[in-house]
Amino acid sequence: MSVTAPQGFEAAGVVAGLKSTGKPDLAVVVNRGPRKVGTAVFTSNRAKANPIIWSQQVVADRTVEAVVLNSGGANCFTGEFGFQTTHLTAEKAAELLEVSAGDVVVCSTGLIGTGDQTFRDKVIAGTTHAIAELSAEGGELAAQAIMTTDTVAKTEVITRDGWTIGGMAKGAGMLAPGLATMLVVITTDADLDPAEADAALRAATGRTFDRLDSDGCMSTNDQVTLLANAASGIRPDLEAFTEALIELSDRLAEKLQGDAEGASHNITIRVTNAACEQDAVEVGRSVARNNLFKAAIFGNDPNWGRVLAAIGTTSAEFDPYDVDVWMNGVRVCTAGGPDRPREDVDLTPRATDLLIDLRTGDAEATIRTNDLTHDYVHENSAYAS
C-alpha cells in the first residue's frame, strides 16, 4: 500500500511520456489532512537541481499539501527555464487541488540537463492527469512511476498502536550519502507537531539513507519527504515514532541497496569498538568507497589488505596494527596481521558481511554498499536516459 497505507493520503502514478519506455513516470501524493505537517531533507550537493531549490522553500514552514514527482528527467542545470518548469508544476497542482503552490513539493529524477519545453509540457499534463486519478489505493502505482533504473518498486509499511507509516523510494545509481541518491516519500497518520516530524526525519535519514553508499557519487536531486496528517487521531510517543521511522527507512535503504545498478553483492560494513560514532561512519565509508575492495568482493576475494589500506586513509582514532577484520563470520585479520586462511571465507552469497573491530572504544555504525562489477561499469557507461 506504500504511501497510501496511512489514513488520509491519496496518490496516483501515470504515464506522462517522459520515459522512452512508455512506463509510468509521474506520481502525485496528496495529504487530505486534517493536519498538513511536512518536512524534508535534501542532497548536500551544492549542485542542486531546480526541484530541490524549489522544495527547500516549500518545506521551510513545515507545511506540505502534496508532492509531485517525475522520473525521466532531473531538471538539473536547465537554467531559469527549468526552475520555471518546477514552479509551473507546483502551480498546476495547487490550482487543481485548491491549495497554495507554496505548499507543493516537486521532485525530479533522471538525466541531468534534461528539462526543455517538451519536458515541461509533459510534466504539466502528467500532473493534471495524475491528480484526476488520485485514490487511497494509488500508492503502488506512484511507487512504480518514480522508478528509473530500479528493477522493482520499493515500498514499506509499518503499523503500530493505532498509527501507520508508509513509504516509497527509488534509487539505483549515484547512491551516496548526504543523501543517497534517491527520492523517498514517507507518510504517516500519526499526529506530530512540525518540529517533532522534522526531528524524527533527520534522526531516521542520518542513521539509514545517509549510511547507504553504493558508489560514492552524490546526486543533485536527492530528497526524502515526510508528510504527517494526524488522521489516526493518535499522538505517538516521539521516541516510539522515531524508532518505527528508522525501521521503515532502514528497510527502504536495504531495498535500494539490493537493487543497486549492476551490483552482485550487498555489502554490510559494521564498524565496532570505535572511539565515537563519527569515527565508525568515517571508517565504514572509506571501505564503501574503495574501488579495489569492491572489485575484490565482486571476484569473491576476501582481500582484507584492501580493507586496511582503505581505513588507513581516515582520521579516525585507532591503531592500524591493532584491528580485527571479519568477512562472513571468519576472522581473516587480527591485530593487523593474517589470521584464518582466505579459503575459509565463502563470498558467493549476495549478502556479504564485513566486520571491522577497531578495538578502541565502544561506538559502532553500519554502512551499506555494493560491489564494483562489470555490469555497474556497463550500465553507467551506456546510461543516457
Where does this chain bind its own copies (CB under 8 A)?
Answer: 44-48, 74, 76-79, 111-113, 173-174, 215-220, 289-292, 295-296, 298-299, 301, 303-306, 308-314, 320-321, 333, 335-338, 372-374, 376-378, 380-382, 384
Closest C-alpha among 365, 154, 144 to residue 253? 154
CB of 291 to its own copies, least distance (A): 5
CA distance 317 to 219: 30
In one-letter notation, the amino acid at residue 157 is: V
At residue 288, φ and ψ (nearest 5 deg) are -60, -25
Q: Which of 181, 187, 188, 272 is catalytic?
A: 181
| Smaller CB separation from its own copies, 63 or 75 | 75
Letter string b/e over residues 120-145, b meaning 16 or more CB atoms within 10 A of that residue's CB? bebbbebbbebbeebeeebbbbbbbb
Residues contacting 33, CB < 8 A, separation 6+: 8, 229, 230, 231
User: Please, which residue, 98 or 321, has the CB nearer to its own copies?
Assistant: 321
Strand, helix or coil for residue 20: coil
- C-alpha to C-alpha distance for 160 and 174, rounded to whole angstroms: 33
Q: Is-contact 6 189, C-beta < 8 A?
A: yes
Q: Given the complex with its own copies, which of 238 and 295 has the nearer CB atom?
A: 295
Cα 28-114-210 angle, rounded to 5 deg: 65
Q: Nearer to its own copies by C-beta: 34 or 320? A: 320
Closest alpha carbon to 142 in 55, 69, 42? 69
Nearer to its own copies, 157 or 297 (CB): 297
Q: How far is the CB of 139 from its own copies (least distance, A)?
A: 30
**What's the min distance (Å) between Cβ of 287 and its own copies?**
11
Residue 59 is given by DSSP the state G
Task: Give the shortest CB-30-to-its own copies separation in angstroms.
Answer: 31
Minimum CB–partner distance for residue 83 and its own copies (Å): 10
Is 272 annotated as catalytic? no
Catalytic residue list: 181
